[in-house]
Amino acid sequence: MFPGPGAVSSTTVWHCASSPGSATTPGARWAAPQGVVMGAVIVQGCSSVGTPCCAGVGRTLIGGDKRQRRKQEANFVSFLSSHKKWLLEPFGGPGAEGQWQIYDIYQPRERRTRRALLICNTKFKHLRQRDGAEVDVKEMTKLLEGLGYNVECHEDKTSQEMTTVMKKFADHKDHLTSDSTFLVFMSHGMSTGICGTKSNGTTDILSFNTIYENFNNKHCRALMGKPKVVIIQCCRGDNIGSVQIRDSIDPEMPTSTSDGWRCVELQGSKTREAHLESDFATLYSSTPDTVSWRSPTEGSVFIQRLVEQFRNHAFNSDLQEMFRKVQRSFENFPRQLPTQERTTMLKKFYLFPGL
């Protein structure tokens, strides 16, 4: 774990990551994540010495030495084969209560064609350059490649160009033999969307809705029923995400309400009806209408902490639990809080690094 930005440093300045014309503010220097990932271990609570689940044997280096990773993966697959039943039960496999509550991995690793899309805008015609974004691109690419994704990276695109890139990526034949995808966007942003390179803060905006429209079950059938993970690093407004409070006064508790619901009985038909939008999980770098923070030398706080949590916990935590770990890592940084929104996953998504 690296320390949160708590103490003031005279050597590092923090920038509002994406707010046009924002001022810089003093902040703390944090260390880039180091260490290895226990990538091949998927059994929660396993501590058997001498098996691939042992920390000293079962680790996979995300982005590390490929020969070492292949050897560890072979050991792990052999271990799974000999302990298949009890290993799968904690994850909803055969014999478990609530059968098949996790997303499937369709192909062996050597035939699986996972793809990830990364779009990062750094240079703008009217807005401030996003110094430090190159660090985020490097770290996210290394993380995703270590998780088995072929990363397609695009930089400095207008909103229309980003839409074109997404449409082409959604049509890629590799999704047919993939089990999931990651869609990563880094740019300046507003409450309604992501800034293109010609944006002045109000024009050339890629609507957040456009992302979901391009990858929903109508327009991207190859990814239907498969996890689509959306990571968005951008400001969503100009407000600071913290508030001054007095601990001596209890805040008023919100009133709990429940929304009504109704069932619609559908007549039998040869055409199967499916959700228009499902299997998405989205993590924004900040709450609505607030800014995100970035170091011009070390990248954004959000991407650095996301990479750290995935490296440390992908071996035994599902995606949404890792999202919560990212959020909890901001407890001592009240200016910003990542938020999960528009999440429609129907099962748990384990990345199973090394498998």
Give the closest residue to 135 by CA, choosing from 146, 122, 152.
122
pLDDT for res 352: 81
In single-letter form, the type of residue at position 276 comes to L
Q: Distance (Å, rounded) from C-alpha 286 to C-alpha 284?
A: 5
Give the closest residue to 137 by CA, choosing from 335, 294, 325, 333.
294
pLDDT digits (tens, 9 = 90+) for 173-187: 999 999 999 999 999
> Token digits for 353?
């690094």
Say what the pTM is: 0.72
pLDDT at 60 over 70: no
The band of 68, judged by pLDDT with boundaries at 50, 70 and 90, is: low
> Token digits for 55?
């920390």
- Decide: 229 and 147 in contact? Cβ < 8 Å: no
Q: What is the mean pLDDT of residues 19-46?
A: 34
Strands 181-186 and 115-120: parallel
Question: Which segments of 14-158 does DSSP mark as H helices, in order?
Answer: 66-82, 84-88, 133-146
pLDDT for res 78: 55
Q: Distance (Å, rounded) from C-alpha 139 to C-alpha 141?
A: 5
Please write down the HEC assignment for all residues of 202-264: CCCEEEHHHHHHHHCCCCCHHHCCCCEEEEEECCCCCECCCCCCCCCCCCCCCCCCCCCCCCC
Strands 193-195 and 228-233: unpaired
Q: What are the CA-CA distances from residue 203 to residues 190, 192, 292 (Å)?
A: 10, 11, 20
CA 101 to chain CA centroid, nearest Å: 20
Q: What is the mean pLDDT of residues 301-317?
A: 94
pLDDT at 264 over 90: no
Q: Annotated catalytic sites, by residue? A: 188, 235
pLDDT digits (tens, 9 = 90+) for 148-207: 999 999 999 999 999 999 999 999 999 999 999 999 999 999 999 999 999 998 999 999
Work out the mean pLDDT of the chain and round it to a whole number: 75
Buried b (16+ CB within 10 A) or exposed e, 272-292: eeeeeeebbbbbbbbbeebbb
Local structure of residue 147 (DSSP, 8 states): T
Contacts of residue 309, Cβ cutoff 8 Å, sequence gap at least 6: 322, 325, 326, 329
